[in-house]
Structure 1
Amino acid sequence: MIPELGLLALILALCFALVQATIPLVGAWRDDWCWMALARPAAWGQLAFLVFSFACLAHTFLTDDFSVAYVAQNSNSRLPWYYKLSAIWAAHEGSLLLWVLIQACWTFAVSIGARQLPAAMLARVLAVMGMISSGFLLFLIDTSNPFIRLLPNVPIDGRDLNPLLQDIGLIVHPPILYMGYVGFSVAFAFAIAALIEGKLDAAWARWSRPWTTVAWAFLGVGIALGSWWAYAELGWGSWWFWDPVENASFMPWLVGAALIHSLAATEKRGVFKSWTVLLAIAAFSLSLLGTFLVRSGVLTSVHAFATDPARGVFVLVFLLVVVGGSLTLFALRAPVVKSQAGFGILSRETLLLVNNLLLSVAAAMILLGTLYPLILDALTGAKLSVGPPYFNAMFVPLMALVMVAVAIGMFTRWKDTPVRWLARMLFPILVVSLLIALTIATLQDRSSWVVAGSCLLAAWVVLAGLRDIFDKTRHKGLLKGLPTLGRSYWGMQLAHLGFAVCALAAVLATVGSLERELRMAPGTAIDLGGYYFLFEGTTRLQGPNYVTDRGSVRVFRDSREVAVMYPEKRIYQVQQATMTEAGIQAGVTRDLFVALGEPLADGAWAVRIQIKPFVRWIWLGALLMALGGMLAATDRRYRTGKRQLDSDTHMTGVQP
């Protein structure tokens, strides 16, 4: 009975979504307040029924109701309860239910948190979000029903959760990632609502900014958690592989970063209206494209859902409708989005435009590398793999240019900036950055200009931020001046610091990594990077739903024991799948990483040993960027709706 109630709740949620998508929109067109007022209760009703439906599916997992096909395919009676909960979104049907639930949560948040909007604008925004919910609910009910029964042939036990997903990272990674994916629908809805109204002004940009920033922050945390999961769970010892599904989440994050900066310029100066609208459309469209790539079966990836390609057709059609309809509306409203304000070559507007171009080109480059093999295969049948060499060669120089532009952008002024004054501000920063880079280059055991260049760029960004803080507070004094800068300003500084930390750590972890793969019998040892790894053998242990060979590796440095590591090779008994659980000893400046390969004769094992310098700083940088975004989104003026001219993100410069 519970599964049938869950399906009924989905159908009722669809009814509320259809009401939300139509009646308020017509009411805004007719200026009928009563019809517009239906948008909020319709959004609340949709959320209530989706929460109930999700709770029904959770109940079937926790009670081991294997009469439900989705539960039988993704759970097992011996599975720990917390993995039973995460199994809800471990495959296509449940993850899609999570998607529409999060969409309803965002809609509810907008209906509550955007009360300062005019009634017609709020009605249009909620109507557009209702259209999106309607499309995904139709997809869920028609092709991906998670409540289908296996009657009368009910299995005694389930097939178990995919062993790859039995990890703490996969409990929190998908919900947070979806919060970012789906959150861009808010920016999209604001853009479409403004186009429908024919009014793109500073108020529209100011309303959109906090929602866009929060979505971008959630997506960044989700990507970082996915990177951490791959590093810890897959046994490869790396943090990024340019996997197509990794790329699918990274592209909207890059476009979202450009959108945040473009919204700031539109709010402040009324420029880049076309850019802003197109970036809002692109961010959400890339989120939908990621959904298509993951669920269509066109990709082979440890991150992808192996589903019927026919389901991908629905998402593809929905994507085409969203993109095609949005661009058509944009074309019809082209005169409205034309910017009138002018600016000089050396101005904050120019730096923002450069920033938008670089981030957009980076996203387009990743899109090309991801889709080109698929298009080539579909047209010619030829198999081609685009790997890290392409992405690294194209992406790294673009990010280096972004770091150069970030520091300059902190000091440029609106409309125009005196060249001599800007040079006077930047010259000391450049000199100190060069000294830091040269010092690091001379101290390295192996001279690496890649590391030195990365240190130069990171110091360039960090020192520019510190100089900007000093200049903004020197007249009032540091302690008195700091609280006056505003949360959006501090959010900007924190995000730029996170960007510098993440970029530098990525280079250090890649260039400075040490790795050995060798045969190790009990009692054998290896010296790597100043550490002495002693393999003591393995022990057979029984887990809740697996059998494991757990190794023991003692690590010494200068005759002092620094760690005991326990890498595992697990065999999950239901699916007879073998998984590697790496032994990781985390440190502030380095990680020690040991993974068991295949068992060999006489108790020996193939073992991979790695030393990864500063790898944790990559995720620290990502978290700093996300925290910066969250802090900026809580700025007081987004709650009051008032325009603030002197305490925004990096859009405010020092007056010469």
Structure 2
Amino acid sequence: MIAELGHFLLILAFCVAVLQSGLTIAGLRANDPAIFGFARAGALAQFGLILVSFGCLTWLFAVSDFSVLVVADNSHTDKPFLYKLTGVWGNHEGSMLLWCLILTAYTAVLAYAGKAVAPKLITLTFAVQSAITAAFTAFLLFTSNPFARLWPAPLNGNDLNPLLQDPGLASHPPMLYAGYVGFSITFSFAVAALIEGRVDARWARIVRPWALAAWTFLTIGIALGASWAYYELGWGGWWAWDPVENASLMPWLAGTAFIHSLRVMEKRDTLKAWTVLLALMSFSLSLVGTFLVRSGIITSVHAFAVDPERGVFILLILLVLIGGALFLFGLRAATLKPTGVFSPVSRESSLLINNIVFSVACAVVLFGTFYPLFVTTVSDETLTIGAPFYNAVFNPLMGALFVLVPISGLIAWKRGKLDRIWQTLWPALAASAAALVIAFWLADREKLAGALGTGLAVWVGVGVLLDLKSRIKLFEIDFSASMARARNLPLGIWGMIVAHLGLAVAIIAITGVSAWKHETRAFMAEGDSVALGGYVITLTEVNQAREANYIAEIGRFEASRNGEVVTDIMSESRFYPVRGMGTTEAGIVGRIQGDLYVTIGERVEGRGWPVHIYIYPLAIWLWIGSVILALGGLLSILDRGRRSLGRNPAKTPVTTAPEAAE
């Protein structure tokens, strides 16, 4: 009965979405003011229906109702309760229902928070959101019903993929989807503005918090996915340029460009057509990522769908939504004329270069992801594009972009002066050069990339701090006056500074784990030792353990340095009998200076256990940098002054230094 209720509510949500989208457009054409209230009520109704439907599916997993196909395929009575719940979205059907839940949640929040937005604009936005909801609920109902029954019901289920039985699954997909789906709001606002024929600075102020929210969630989701890959998959890495990883990176790159472009449009009423195009592409790339994962054209731990019918359905959604939006953009682009002008040396120019580089980098990832799939589709040839390609093309683009970060923060709007930038940033250049030389000399002279990455991180970090110093006039005026200026800086400026500092931390961490890692492989028996990077790692013992749904071999290692034991490391090799699959639980000892990372495999008769040992310098700073990046996004979202601009254009202040420099 619970399954039928969930299915019925999903059908109702689809009907409400179709009616709202159609009737809203009809009501606007008839100029009926009652349609504004109907649009909000419909948005809240869709969320309520999907929420209860999702609750029904969650209940079915919690009680292990194996008469429901998706529960039987992805759960088991012996599975820990946490993984019964996370199993709700650890499969294709449940994850798409979660997608719809988050989609309608955003629309409901818009209904609550967007009351001051012009009625016609927000009503059109609701209509577009409802069309998207209708498309994805139809996808669920016609190709991926999460409430399909199984008869006769088995006594037990097939268990969840062991790789997904991890606490990271509880947070990674919801955060990632919150980022993907968050860009639907900016997409809908863009389409609504194109229909209305009005795109201006006020529109940019309204849209910017939603873009920041989506970007922040996506940043957190990508970081959680990278950390899950790092400690759960056991291959000793956090990013492998896997197509599914790339699917999340592409909208992040487009979204980052979009946020910066919005700031230009908000401040100077220029780059209108470009900003609207980025709004369309950010969500479009999220949909492309959905197609990539759900169509069955790739095989991955992330890729749940293998039914070609589903891929065709999503492809049709892509063609209608993306094709329709781009067609509308083509019709309206000529009318999106900027009013602001700027010189080649200006904040606008630097952010335009920022946008171009981000867009080219996104195109590189798109090519590297889809070209091998295209070659495989049209021929029998198998082509792989991996890290060497991205290291040669993508990384230099990002390096050039990072050089601009401190410069962009200091250069003035409309017309800037290079001599002022040099006067402020020369200490950053000196510190960067010193860091590059020291890293080249001390770390590894054969790893020039490591030295360059270190110098770049110092350039960004010190440059951003000098930008802050300039804004609050530190050491130029009384210290208490500087602190007062710091307190009065808008949260948007603090968000920018914090995010760029997080970027500097992430750069140095990526440099450490990529350029300076050490690794070794060996077969080890109890009592054997391996030397690596100044450590001696000894396998002291291997024990077996049986848990509710898996059997484990647990290796205990001692890491010593200069004859003294530094730490113990526990690593596991697990086998899940129901699925017949094995997993590796890496043993990781995290320290400020770097991680000791050890994996152990299944014992080979006569040789011992295969052991893989890594030393990852500065690895912990990768997660710290990600948190700082996300914190920067959160601070920008909380900027009340910025949000008030979107609500009341009549009171838009004329900003003065230091705010005007932001």
- The question of 1:568 aligning with 2:572 is answered yes
**Preserved contact between residue 543 and residue 555 of structure 2 (Cα < 8 Å):** yes
Could you say what secondary structure the match of 1:599 adopts? coil
Identity value in percent: 44
Residue 445 of structure 1: how far off its partner (Å):
5.3
**Preserved contact between residue 517 and residue 608 of structure 1 (Cα < 8 Å):** yes
Match of 1:119 in 2: 119
Q: Which AA in structure 2 matches 1:325? A: G
1:527-546 alignment runs, 5 A limit: 527-546=531-550
Residue 127 of structure 1: how far off its partner (Å):
1.1
1:12-411 alignment runs, 5 A limit: 12-151=12-151, 153-411=152-410
Match of 2:629 in 1: 625
Q: Deviations over 1:521-558 (max 9, x none)?
A: 10111121111211023111101101111111111223
2:378, 2:294 → 1: CA distance?
21
Q: Relative to 1, partners in 2 of residues 1:638 and 1:418: Cα closer, same or farther, differing over 3 Å?
A: closer
Could you say what secondary structure the match of 1:111 adopts? helix
Residue 381 of structure 1: how far off its partner (Å):
2.6
- The question of 1:511 aligning with 2:511 is answered no
Q: Which moved more, 1:284-293 or 1:329-338?
A: 329-338
Q: Relative to 1, partners in 2 of residues 1:250 and 1:312: Cα closer, same or farther, differing over 3 Å?
A: same
Q: Which moved more, 1:552-561 or 1:31-40?
A: 552-561
Gaps spanning 5+ residues in structure 1: where?
none
2:265, 2:588 → 1: CA distance?
47
**Preserved contact between residue 444 and residue 516 of structure 2 (Cα < 8 Å):** no
Residue 446 of structure 1: how far off its partner (Å):
4.1
Of residues 551, 554, 558, the one that matches 2:558 is 554
Could you say what secondary structure the match of 1:383 adopts? coil
Residue 638 of structure 1: how far off its partner (Å):
4.0
2:656, 2:325 → 1: CA distance?
33
2:198, 2:624 → 1: CA distance?
40
**Preserved contact between residue 126 and residue 189 of structure 1 (Cα < 8 Å):** yes
Q: Which AA in structure 2 matches 1:491? A: G
Q: Deviations over 1:622-645 (max 9, x none)?
A: 221111111101101244235455
1:27, 1:525 → 2: CA distance?
76
**Preserved contact between residue 372 and residue 384 of structure 2 (Cα < 8 Å):** yes
Q: Deviations over 1:581-631 (max 9, x none)?
A: 111111122111110123122582010011111112112212211111111
Q: Relative to 1, partners in 2 of residues 1:214 and 1:124: Cα closer, same or farther, differing over 3 Å?
A: same
Of residues 589, 599, 605, the one that matches 1:601 is 605
Match of 2:471 in 1: 472
Match of 1:501 in 2: 505
Match of 2:417 in 1: 418
Residue 27 of structure 1: how far off its partner (Å):
2.8
**Preserved contact between residue 489 and residue 659 of structure 2 (Cα < 8 Å):** no
Q: Deviations over 1:488-544 (max 9, x none)?
A: 000001111111111221111111111010011101111211112110231111011
Q: Deviations over 1:440-483 (max 9, x none)?
A: 33333546432222122112111221111111112573211111
Q: Which AA in structure 2 matches 1:653? A: A
Q: Which AA in structure 2 matches 1:136? A: F
Q: Which moved more, 1:125-134 or 1:557-566?
A: 557-566
Could you say what secondary structure the match of 2:335 adopts? coil
Could you say what secondary structure the match of 2:541 adopts? strand
RMSD: 1.6
Residue 333 of structure 1: how far off its partner (Å):
1.0
1:389, 1:576 → 2: CA distance?
34
Q: Relative to 1, partners in 2 of residues 1:340 and 1:381: Cα closer, same or farther, differing over 3 Å?
A: farther
Q: Deviations over 1:397-440 (max 9, x none)?
A: 01111111111111111111123333323333312321232233
Q: Which AA in structure 1 matches 2:3? A: P
**Preserved contact between residue 637 and residue 644 of structure 1 (Cα < 8 Å):** no
2:361, 2:643 → 1: CA distance?
33
Gaps spanning 5+ residues in structure 2: where?
none
Q: Deviations over 1:11-54 (max 9, x none)?
A: 11112212331223333333321112111111111111111111
Could you say what secondary structure the match of 1:340 adopts? coil
Match of 1:653 in 2: 661
1:611-622 alignment runs, 5 A limit: 611-622=615-626
Residue 653 of structure 1: how far off its partner (Å):
2.4
**Preserved contact between residue 209 and residue 643 of structure 2 (Cα < 8 Å):** no
2:656, 2:416 → 1: CA distance?
19
Q: Which AA in structure 1 matches 2:541? A: G
- The question of 1:491 aligning with 2:495 is answered yes
1:439, 1:575 → 2: CA distance?
51
**Preserved contact between residue 451 and residue 507 of structure 1 (Cα < 8 Å):** yes
Could you say what secondary structure the match of 2:87 adopts? helix
2:400, 2:653 → 1: CA distance?
30
Q: Which runs of 4+ in 1 moved over 6 A?
A: none
1:645, 1:510 → 2: CA distance?
46
1:261, 1:569 → 2: CA distance?
46
1:236, 1:447 → 2: CA distance?
25
TM-score where L is the length of structure 1: 0.97
2:656, 2:222 → 1: CA distance?
30
Q: Relative to 1, partners in 2 of residues 1:603 and 1:448: Cα closer, same or farther, differing over 3 Å?
A: closer
**Preserved contact between residue 100 and residue 133 of structure 1 (Cα < 8 Å):** yes
TM-score where L is the length of structure 2: 0.96
Q: How many residues align?
A: 652
2:35, 2:444 → 1: CA distance?
71
Residue 576 of structure 1: how far off its partner (Å):
1.3
